Every structure is written in structure tokens, then in C-alpha cells.
Structure 1
Amino acid sequence: MDLPIVVGVDGSESSLRAVDWAVDEGALRGAPLRLVYASLWEHYEGESLAADLGKPSEQVTAEDIVRAAAQRARTRRPDVDVSTDVLPEEPEYALVREGRNAAALVLGTRGRSGLVEMLLGSVSLTVAAHANCPVIVLRGRHDNQVRAGTRGRVVVGVGEKGTDSAALRFAVQETKLRQVTLDAVRAWRCPAYETTDHPLLSGEPARLHEQHAVEVLDKALKEVPAEVHLRRRTVEGPARRVLLDASHEADLLVVGARRNPGHLGLQLGRVAHAVLHHSACAVAVVPEQV
């Protein structure tokens, strides 16, 4: 049986956009969709869904939320099998557990403040930091489009794992499903202590670091299938800035996050943390086992 695409829904506009994105992803993969509402204490605070249901917002129940989300998904993609569940527990724990038997988790950006579109909500951040499967967080104004997208490009940040990178494999899969370009980016920097003021030597350290970046990128991409339309780029600068710049030209940005089974804290890394908060497009965080 194919693993489902799991979506955390709460009735907010961002979670409904996540439903749209996820059901399109399910159609591409031939995978079922599972819609999950999990909460111990939150009450529904949105107005748009309440208006659609013809109820005051304080009367909207968890069952109403998942039922409306399921109807939205079935209307958009009648060919995708949709199931729902309401879990009376903290959403962070419930969704991380759901990710153990999921092809991917899809979440919106909703937080509990007025900075929803700028900063990531605590649930999405925690789930992205702990889930065992890829976590896609929807960002940007066109974040509910999968097949066509708006830019025709998947960007992946290439690290040191090379062909063993789960993030790269996920990015290749998404590129093939969408039939778009894969933009593989390797950031590099010349450490300050290696620079020199001598006019004959000033370019040498930078050239060597750029050459190393090219070699890492070539090694990582050597097994990418020939049918993938591939664009290779090495860019000087901090990886966070390089990938955030690239996100403005992408429909999906893919990054890896190391998972250490013996570590209990957030396992994201500075790059993944930054792009989750500030990317201009949807972000997929793919766990990389240490």
C-alpha cells in the first residue's frame, strides 16, 4: 500500500492552501491523502471557513474542519483517495508520529500572531525539526500549485553527503514528477583568514574554494538521471543567503536536515531554520541520517 501524504489542518487559510498543494502532490504520486486535525486546547479562530459553513466561528468543530478540508480536496482532485482523523492531542506530537508512516507531511505557515506570513508557526517548526519523513511547509503567494507551478523550477541545496543525500533524491523525484528544471546549488565561501592583500595572490584562495565547490557538486550529481533537466550552480556566499535568493525563482526549495537519534533538541541546522522562516516559495525539509 502506498504511504499517504499527510496534511495538518486547522481551518486556517494557510492549512487549506496546504490541502490544495498536498492533494495535487498525491495525484502526481498516485498516493492517498490523509487529513489530520490535532489539538488539545485550541478553538477555531478563522472567519472564512465559518462563513462557508454558515456557522459562527465559535461553533465550528474539529469535525467540521476536517470535513470541509476533505470536500475541498475531493473537489480539486476526485481521483485521490482522501481520509480524515481528529486526534485529541498536541499537534506537534501527533504530526511527528503520523510522519512515521507517511510519504511526506504538508503544513501551512500559521502561527499564533500577526506575523504568520513572515515567521513560521511553532507547530510547523517543531514538526520540521523532528519528523522522520520529508516535511513540506507552504510559503509564498503561489504555494498551493504543484503540477504547473509558476516558475517551473525545483531548487536543492547540495551539501557534503553527495550521492547519499536524501534531500537530493527527493528533489530529483519532485523534478521528474513535475517535469520541471532541477536547480542544484552549492554555496561556497573563502574564509577571512585566507585572504591576502598581495595583488598576485588575492584571487588564489577564492579560486581553490570555488573549485572544491564545483567538485562537490559534480560528485553529488553524477547519478542524476539523464532525463532530468539539470542546472548546476556554485555561488559564493553564506548558504542561507544563497538559497533564499534562489527561492525567488523556484516553486519548491529542498534542503536537508541532519537527524541524530540520540539528540532530543531541534534538529534543523541554521540553513533549514532560515529558509523555513524566510523562503519565497514552499520548502521541503528532508531528514538526513547522521
Structure 2
Amino acid sequence: MDLPIVVGVDGSEPGLRAVDWAADEAALRGVPLRLVYASLWERYEGAHLAEELGKPSERVRAEDIVESAARRARLRRPEVKTTTDVVPEEPEYALLRESRNASLLVTGTRGRGALTEALLGSVSLTVAAHAHCPMIVIRGNHDNHALPATHGRIVLGVGEKPTSSAAVRFAFEEARRRGARVEAVRAWRCPAHETTDHPLLAGEPARLHEQRAAEALEAALHDAPADVRLHRRTVEGHARNVLVDASRGADLLVVGAKRRQRSFGLQLGRVTHGVLHHSTCPVVVVPEQE
């Protein structure tokens, strides 16, 4: 049985764009689409609802929100089987439970009040830290098209410990579906205490750090399939800034997130946290078990 793509629906415009993206992706994968609305969402993210419903926010029922999203998905991709559910609970708990039986979990950006779309909302950030399946946060000035690839480029962030095999596999599989190339990026920095003013040694520490970054990149990509176009790139700078820059003109930015054996606490690293807030394209967070 094909696991569905699950979308967290909240009635906001960013949430509806996430529905568009997920419907395209479900058509691309040939899997069902499941739209889930947690009725306590407004407690966390405010009461800004989709204007297309044409009703005052106090009169908009949960069924109106989820059915409006379902109509939108069916009009966009009538070939995709679309189902809905309304659950009377907090959104992060509902979406984390859904992630156990989903191929992908999709949300939009949702800030509080005037911060809508400027920063990632609290629900999406919490779920990204704990989801059991890959989670995609739809952000950036994208045009909502997943088929075919708009830019033909998927960015894969390779971290300091290049053991993120699940993220690497996800990037390659998605590239195959879209006919896109993978740009694997590894950031590196030369610590200030390793620099030297000696003219014969100038640049040597930096060269060694760059070499180590290139070796780490090769180690992460040693099983790269021959049928996927792959470009390797090492860049000096803070990893968050390097990946945010790389996200410009990309279809997806893929990063791995360690899932430690604990139930509580934020499990996102600083780099993943940063790109979720600042990427200019959709971000995929792929869970990696330590």
C-alpha cells in the first residue's frame, strides 16, 4: 500500500500553497493525498483564514477549511485520490502522529500575525524537529509547480558528519522523479586560531580545511547512482548562510536531521533551524537515526 502525502491544513494562504505543492508531488509519485486539520491550530498561530472562504473568521468551521483545501487539490490534480480529516487536538500532536504513516509530511510557513511567511511558524518548527518521515516546508517565492521541475536543481546540504544517507537517498530519488540535477554542497571554515601571517604558510590551513570538506563530500556521495546528474561544491563560510545562498533558484533544499533517542527537547541543529527560517525554496528535513 502506498503511503499518502499528508498536508497540515490551517486555512491560511501559505497553507493552501502547501496543498498545491503536495497535490503536484502526489501526482508525481502516484500516491494519495491526505489533508488534515487540527481544530486547535488557531490557539497557536492566530485566526487568519483563507479569504476565499468568504465568511467572517468566527463563522468558519473546521469542515469549511478542510473542504476548501480539498476542492482546491482536486481541481489542481483530479487524478490524485484526496481524503480529509478533522481532529480536535493540538496540531503538532496530530501531525506527528500522521507522520508515522506518511511518505511525506507537508506544511506551509506560518508566522504569528504580521510575521506570516516571514519566519517559520511554531507548529511547523516543532513538527520538523520530531517528524517520523521526511517533512517539507513550503517557503520561498516558488510558483507552486512540482511537475516538471521548474529550475531542475535540487540542493543537498552535507554536514560535518556526512552519514546522512537517508537525506542523500531522498535527494537522488527526488532528482530522478523530476529529471533534475543534484547540487551537493559542503560548507567549510578555517578557524581564526589556525591562520598565520608567515608568507610561506599563508593559505595552508585554509587549503587543508577545504580538502577535508571535499573528502567528506565524496564520502557522503560514494553510492551516487550513475543515472543522476551530480555537481559537487565546497564553499567557505557558515553552513547556514552557504545553504540559504544555494537555495536561490533551486526546487528543493534537502537537509538531514538527527533523531536522538529522547522524547523531549528541540532536535534541530542550528543549520537546519536557520535554513527553515530563511531558505528561498522549499526545505526538506529528512530524519536520520543516530
- Name the % identity: 69
Query: Using the alignment, how far apart are the partners of 1:81 and 1:162 within structure 2?
Result: 37
Q: Shift of residue 46 of structure 1?
A: 2.3
Structure 2 residue identity aligned to 1:135: M
SS of corresponding position for 1:114: helix
Amino acid at match of 1:245: D
Q: Report Cα offsets for 1:246-273 as digits up to 9, x if no partner.
A: 0112111011111102251011100010
Write out aligned runs for 1:97-112 (5 A).
97-112=97-112
Residues 1:260 and 2:263 are matched in the alignment? no
Alignment of 1:167-182 (within 5 A): 167-182=167-182
Q: Aligned equivalents of 2:68 and 2:117: distance in 1? A: 23
Pairwise CA distance, 1:278: 0.6
Structure 1 residue 143: Cα displacement: 5.4
SS at match of 2:10: coil
SS at match of 1:233: strand
Q: Which moved more, 1:155-164 or 1:103-112?
A: 155-164
1:99-123 C-alpha deviation (Å, 9 max, x unpaired): 0111110001012221122211000
Question: How do 1:8-19 residues align onto structure 2 when only pairs under 5 Å count?
Answer: 8-19=8-19
Superposition RMSD on alpha carbons, in Å?
1.5
Aligned position for 2:157: 157
| Segment of structure 1 superposing worse, 269-278 or 72-81 | 72-81
Aligned twin of 2:185: 185
Give the match's secondary structure for 2:113. coil
Structure 1 residues 221 and 64, CA gap change in structure 2 (3 angstroms): same
Q: 2:51 aligns with which of 48, 52, 56?
A: 48
Deviation at 1:29, TM superposition (A): 1.0
Map of 1:220 onto structure 2: 220
Structure 1-normalised TM-score? 0.95
**Offset at 1:173?**
1.1
Q: CA deviation at 1:57?
A: 3.1
Q: Are the aligned partners of 1:22 and 1:33 in contact in 2 as well (CA < 8 Å)? A: yes
Q: Which runs of 4+ in 1 moved over 6 A?
A: none
Structure 2 match to 1:248: 248
Distance 2:147 2:249 in 1: 16
Cα distance in structure 2, aligned partners of 1:237 and 1:7: 34
| 2:36 alignment counterpart | 36
Partner of 1:236: 236
Aligned residues: 287
How big is each residue's C-alpha offset from its partner over 1:63-100, in whole Å with a ceiling of 9 and x where there is no partner? 11111111111111111111100000000111011101
Equivalent residue of 1:84, what SS? strand
One-letter amino acid of the counterpart of residue 38, structure 2: A
Counterpart CA distance in 2 for 1:211 and 1:141 is 35
Kindly provide the amino acid, as one letter, of the partner of residue 186 in structure 2: R
Per the alignment, do residues 23 and 182 of structure 1 end up closer, same or farther by CA in structure 2, a change over 3 Å counting?
A: same
Q: In structure 2, do the counterparts of structure 1 residues 149 and 116 end up closer, same or farther at CA, with 3 Å as the change threshold?
A: farther
The more displaced of 64-73 and 85-94 is: 64-73
